[in-house]
Structure 1
Amino acid sequence: MISIEKIYNYIKAKKRCNYLSIAKGLQVPYNKSKQLTIALKEMVEKHKIILFRDNTYSILVPKGTIEGVIKYSKDARFGFIDLDEENDGEKVSYFVPGSSFNNAYTGDFVKAEVYEYFENSSLKVFAHITEVIKRKEAKIPGIIELNNSVITFKPIKNDYANTRFVINEFKIDARLDDLVLAKICAWKQNELHVDIVEKVSNISDPLCYVKSLLAEREMPKGFEKEVQKEADLIPDKIDPKGMKNRVDFRDELIVTIDGENTKDFDDAISVKKINNSYYELAVHIADVSYYVHENSEIDKEALKRGTSTYLANKVIPMLPEKLSNGICSLNPNEDRFTMSIIINIDNNGHTMDARLVQGVINSKYRLTYKRVNEFIESKKRFEDQSLNKMLNLAWELTQKIRKVKLSEGYIDFEIEEPKIILGDKDQVVDVIVDSSGPSERMIEDFMVRANEETAKILTKAKIPVMYRIHDVPSEEKILTFKQVMNALNIKIELDSMNLTPLSFQQAIEKIKKQRFDSFLQIMFLRTMSKAVYNPENIGHFGLASEHYCHFTSPIRRYPDLMVHRAIRDVLINNDRTKIEHMRKILPTISEMNSEAEQKALQIERDTNDLLYAEYFRNKIGQSFNCQIVSVLKFGMFVEFENKTNALVHISTLSDDEYEINDDSTAIIGKNTKNKYRLGDKVAVVILKSDPINGKVDACLVKNYSDYFSNIKQNLKQRSKNSKK
């Protein structure tokens, strides 16, 4: 019998060798060559050695065990296990070849052995899954099809590309071409048995893939009976008993200013000039805390959701409609309870004093951003002269407030985003740039000032606050930012060790004067830290605020509701016994709300990506002018005039072999030295649109003919191979 140990030691000494070298080196006689073949195969299976494509072997060095979630690649040929730990700020991730899945499926929590080996003088690492610790319980979206007279389930994504699905049972009524959710009931090697448990839509529905994503992510469709039952008990009109200790603002000229399609109005404003010496800004916010009490069914569901989620075709609300669009919404000509902040502001835009009160209002006008923008920009007046006067004062005040904020270091990134236009049957009609005007900025300025002053009042009163914090950009991010700017010949002076909002803002403004393209806006945002909720205050870097919390949107954000409770219970009712309770719950609730916010943002982005891809599905073969906004190892992302993106994969650059440069600002041809840099304007052709995964692929117009020639050549080769 051939010694496994001898084979291992020989390969280790040689570092890399083929079968003949091993047989010759170990002097294996011809009649024992089969034993050597079996031994080598066994060593490969047991991960003692690795077999390369050129039929050479190298040893594998075990480096320990890891546990994590396996995520398949798009074509399920390989995967990655991501760990929670970080290395230099980067998530630690291990490559898993398809041969090492070992009956684990994407999303499963697994245990794996990590191995190292050398290939072409480079140290390589991979993981081999040894155990499935916990199966992914999520439901799989797919389509009911008929194949060879057999009803089958076909997943819409490639996560299970090499897997056969067997329908065990239909738990619901489903027809052909229905998009459904399947629940795994048995796992076998390359075969999954599933129950069909939920109908999502039909593939004829323009929004079927959006609905599929929402169902897969378990986004709520409505409210549970217990929640709705509790909401139904809430009156449609304000309760006279609730008027006690409220300031009556019903005779004041108070207005709401929102989007044309807004249905829930949680903020209203009024502006006065007092004795011609200072301004009185009143920000009135829906008093949700009066109706939603801690640990009620509505409250528990609101905490679970954390925020409303805004999609192209609808809103998934945090609160039942009875509250969000009804008694809590500051609808015109309706009496509504509010939590109000009255801020006195001097002629230079600085706050003189502020006070928080419980109020009751009756909004006189439901104004839109569009109409108020016409008032500001085109001097298009309203019939009510008192309204004209108030809006003039509001515009006058906001310019003073903004001047103060800019002097403190407030950063206005001026980000433009795509807006999806849906038709009457929910089909994507267009994608346009959603730009904001002066009225949007005015309301933003008023809300920021209200949030700042609320945080200051609560902090001064030593009341626990769920702050909205935004940390200073990390030194690593600033260094990367400076390197990219220098590579693009954009002059920048920035001291990462002594960074302040003002110094960062001044650097941004200097860059804007040299160049201000979309890719720079993206770079600015990537440099910033992520804003989160936290009971410990470190300030808000982006807003240049020492104290900041969310107070102005309790209909759609749970943190605002928490702030309102602190105001009512402790500041107004002086119940100091609540303080310890608040201190105890705030860390957990802050973390929950930060996570809920990120989940909602991701859902919004992902559903929008699906619809952007749907938009481009009818534009395959068309050419567009665009700008390179991101450069990666596998290609470059380009941005169109409507602010949507497509990937130009490096494989489509057919005139040369391209690679990314050291500072990730350009892709450069090895032979031609052709260079595609961040910010370059290019013309592309849409190649492919994937409305299931929300991806759009393009190639440069100059490479379009070569791309198709290569495809035809590959098809011919496949055809030849299939005939052999």
Structure 2
Amino acid sequence: MARQKDERPTWSRPYMEKRILKLLRNHGDRAFRAKEITKRLDIIERADFLQARDLLEELADSGKVARLKGNRFGFRPPANIRAGTVRVHPDGFGFVTDDDGEEYFVKGRRMGTALDGDRVEIGLGAPARDGRKREAEVIQVLERGRKTAVGTFHRHGHFGVVAPDDKRMTRDIYVAREDWGGANEGDKVLVTIDRFENPKSVPEGRIVNVIGSANDAATRVLALAMSVGIDADFSEQALEEARAARLEITDADLREREDFRGENVFTIDPVDAKDFDDALHIRELQGGRVEVGVHIADVGHFVPEGSALDKDAYARGTSTYLVDRVIPMLPERLSGNLCSLRPNEDRLTYSCVFELDETAQILDYRITPSVIHSKARLTYEQAQAVITGEDSEAPSPVKDAILRLWALAEHLIRERFKDGSIDFDLPEVRVVLDEAGTVTDIVRKDRLPAHRLIEEFMLLANKTVARHVSKQRPRREFVYRTHDHPDKEKIQQLVGYVRGFGYQVRSEDGTIEPAELNRLIREARGKPEEPVIQTAALRAMAKARYSPDDSGHYGLGFRHYSHFTSPIRRYPDLIAHRELRKMRAGRPGPDYGALKAQCDHLSERERVADEAQRESVKLKQVEYMQQHLGDRFTGVISGVTRFGIFVELDAILVEGLVHVRDLADDYYEYDEPAFMLVGRTSGRRFKLGDPVTVTVAAANTETREIDFVLV
């Protein structure tokens, strides 16, 4: 039998041009050298390579592609063509944000086969008028934003469909009978998105994971987390590496580490915590000075760069704290055992050790690999009992240390707020569950001075590490935690919002000083509207991010800031540890572009984890309200819109909507400048901050929405 020749494309000039333009269009945010382009297109022959090189020059000369710095070529869209990411509204329309940050509106009938999160190419419509967003139409999907979806499986004879939980996924996914994967009617499942080529049809996929029955409380929480992009399972390679990990402190380890095993080291954590990232010690020095050690788990010792453990941890970016469980960044053997600073066991750490005077001013510091032996594990409640002078189970040396550290922490707090740190102290709730995952109660979490004690020394260590790198190696790349000044438009909205409660905030040209925000927060403290004022102020802030640029932290008032103190649950902290170790060894720092990409990824993973945590709490709040249909609650009006008023309940911080259609005593009109609904006949007003009594009318776990009616 004759040998078949390699079937490679025949590179005619028109065909080559088509392939080059498609490659550059699909990677619209990147640029390539000619050699990279030919490699990606599998162009082997020298004659074809020369033709491609000449063709690229011609395309650049004609304006069809962009000639960029470094003899690279990139996609140059026509004036009315853009590429960007689409976000879909549950009603079917969408918004595309292009690569320059401009946003365009896409009607539902012009969405084509685009799904939420896809990278798409759009054609622009006529310029917008009256301040509206310019309209666009999806031309093609360049890259799917998600390859899977989580939803509820429904059987329809010889085929099935999965209705996605994420309402931004507006189309059900068709599943052929042979691809059901053992799913039963009503199961929560993970389904692939394999094909979607015709907007008049539906996406097609396969069920690859049956999560469990939708009637099971734990399944509902896990499915919710998976639907926003949380992966609950580690790779088998990562688990194997975790099983093989050992804690063996050798003489070589001790030679390169400072030994704090003789110090009075202890931890303070939540009562149900297992991953103890940080520990403290304090030792009296001469002349009223003290040594304070902030000891952080040396995760890098167990997670080599590039290992399967490292890849899984980077993909997750952070641990995710759901209402009923933790999905850790690292397997339990590391997060809850080898890395965790458990009491009465030697542990490897990275320490920031301070010499402080009596007012907590830093006289000296050192950052060093170390080894510790924790003498005690305290809960926040036990530490608080020490601070308030109540009975506590803590050993006497630990009690003395806590009192000394709290005195220093009070100095740090005063100094921080004097320097411009904003005093956000948002109330939080704790959802109490029974063994079946059913909500039995929702209670407010108390924020104790013991929490502030730990927070202040972690802030001090994080700030010191960032300043150390910035000052010692100003040109070296590092991962910083940055927080920009708030957007001017958001500040103007905040000023108008709090005016509805009767608060006046000074703002010049949409800017606001931290001291002015602190004044607002202090004025609202102890009043019924305090939670909603704090929430509104926080929403006006920019989102903190990870960045290789040392641009400071507005909210904390720090010129330099990083994350160093939680490497068990935050990957950026692990990067910081690795870079500090490389600095000590005189090794070069990371590439700026690569670190920037890491920071962007980790900022996004943090956003996803926060969304999963927030939505899991909201789900349980809705389930709790389902148990209280018809019951009365007191609350405060937290928002006013054309379609109704939002009410936040006093005791449990649950928010729901009183629809304007249920305000049956009058026809209510919306006074937008005053954030108020006004009865046309009666003149009755509903404004921000008003106390109200409501009954629970409806609670929907699918939409996670709660409806109230006024009493």
Which TM-score bucket, shorter chain as reference? 0.7 to 0.9
Residue 247 in structure 1 maps to residue 268 in structure 2 = no
Give the counterpart of 1:537 among 550, 553, 560.
Answer: 550
Query: 406-415 or 182-191: which moved more?
Result: 182-191
Cα separation, partners in 2 of 1:620 and 1:125, compared to 1, 3 Å: farther
Give the counterpart of 1:648 among 632, 643, 658.
Answer: 658
| Aligned match of 2:315 | 304
Cα separation, partners in 2 of 1:240 and 1:190, compared to 1, 3 Å: same
**Identity over the aligned pairs, expressed in percent?**
30
**CA–CA distance in structure 2, aligned partners of residues 685 and 86 of structure 1:** 47
Cα separation, partners in 2 of 1:241 and 1:686, compared to 1, 3 Å: same
Q: Is the 8 A contact 1:492 1:510 kept in 2?
A: no
**CA–CA distance in structure 1, aligned partners of residues 438 and 298 of structure 2:** 37
Give the counterpart of 2:647 among 627, 633, 638.
Answer: 638
**CA–CA distance in structure 1, aligned partners of residues 104 and 660 of structure 2:** 23
**CA–CA distance in structure 2, aligned partners of residues 163 and 248 of structure 1:** 59
Query: 629-638 or 330-339: which moved more?
Result: 629-638
Mapping for residues 216-365 of structure 1, pairs under 5 Å: 216-275=227-286, 277-365=288-376
User: Following TM superposition, by how much is the alpha carbon of 1:565 offset from its aligned partner in structure 2, in angstroms?
Assistant: 1.5
Mapping for residues 88-487 of structure 1, pairs under 5 Å: 92-94=103-105, 96-97=107-108, 137-145=146-154, 152-153=160-161, 155=163, 157=165, 165=174, 167-184=176-193, 187=196, 189-191=200-202, 193-275=204-286, 277-382=288-393, 384-462=395-473, 463-487=476-500
Q: Is the 8 A contact 1:274 1:280 kept in 2?
A: yes
Mapping for residues 673-692 of structure 1, pairs under 5 Å: 673-692=683-702
Gaps of 5+ in 1: 1-62, 702-724
**CA–CA distance in structure 1, aligned partners of residues 538 and 169 of structure 2:** 35
**CA–CA distance in structure 2, aligned partners of residues 688 and 562 of structure 1:** 47
Cα separation, partners in 2 of 1:568 and 1:273, compared to 1, 3 Å: same
**CA–CA distance in structure 1, aligned partners of residues 563 and 114 of structure 2:** 43
Amino acid across the alignment from 1:537: D
User: Following TM superposition, by how much is the alpha carbon of 1:286 offset from its aligned partner in structure 2, in angstroms?
Assistant: 0.7
Q: Is the 8 A contact 1:418 1:644 kept in 2?
A: no
For residues 306-340 of structure 1, give each alpha carbon's deviation from its aligned partner in whole angstroms, at most 9, with x where no partner exists: 11111112111112222211221100010011111
| Aligned match of 1:625 | 634
Tell me the TM-score normalised to structure 1 length. 0.79
| Aligned match of 1:83 | 97
Amino acid across the alignment from 2:695: V
Q: Is the 8 A contact 1:250 1:362 kept in 2?
A: yes
**CA–CA distance in structure 2, aligned partners of residues 670 and 290 of structure 1:** 69
**CA–CA distance in structure 2, aligned partners of residues 368 and 118 of structure 1:** 58
Give the counterpart of 2:536 among 518, 523, 536.
Answer: 523
Cα separation, partners in 2 of 1:685 and 1:305, compared to 1, 3 Å: same
Residue 667 in structure 1 maps to residue 681 in structure 2 = no
Amino acid across the alignment from 1:617: Q
**CA–CA distance in structure 1, aligned partners of residues 116 and 477 of structure 2:** 42
Cα separation, partners in 2 of 1:313 and 1:505, compared to 1, 3 Å: same
Tell me the TM-score normalised to structure 2 length. 0.80
Cα separation, partners in 2 of 1:440 and 1:517, compared to 1, 3 Å: same
Amino acid across the alignment from 1:282: G
User: Following TM superposition, by how much is the alpha carbon of 1:207 offset from its aligned partner in structure 2, in angstroms?
Assistant: 2.6
Amino acid across the alignment from 2:284: K
Count of residue pairs the alignment pairs up: 627
**CA–CA distance in structure 1, aligned partners of residues 275 and 173 of structure 2:** 47
Q: Is the 8 A contact 1:628 1:636 kept in 2?
A: yes
User: Following TM superposition, by how much is the alpha carbon of 1:697 offset from its aligned partner in structure 2, in angstroms?
Assistant: 2.1
User: Following TM superposition, by how much is the alpha carbon of 1:443 offset from its aligned partner in structure 2, in angstroms?
Assistant: 0.4
Amino acid across the alignment from 2:214: I
Q: Is the 8 A contact 1:246 1:359 kept in 2?
A: yes
Larger Rg: 1
Larger relative strand fraction? 1
| Aligned match of 1:14 | none
Query: 488-497 or 631-640: which moved more?
Result: 488-497
**CA–CA distance in structure 2, aligned partners of residues 559 and 107 of structure 1:** 25
**CA–CA distance in structure 2, aligned partners of residues 662 and 431 of structure 1:** 34
**CA–CA distance in structure 2, aligned partners of residues 452 and 671 of structure 1:** 58
Gaps of 5+ in 2: 1-78
**CA–CA distance in structure 2, aligned partners of residues 122 and 398 of structure 1:** 50
Secondary structure of 1:578's partner? coil
**CA–CA distance in structure 1, aligned partners of residues 142 and 396 of structure 2:** 70
Q: Is the 8 A contact 2:94 2:111 kept in 1?
A: no
User: Following TM superposition, by how much is the alpha carbon of 1:628 offset from its aligned partner in structure 2, in angstroms?
Assistant: 1.6
User: Following TM superposition, by how much is the alpha carbon of 1:493 offset from its aligned partner in structure 2, in angstroms?
Assistant: 3.1
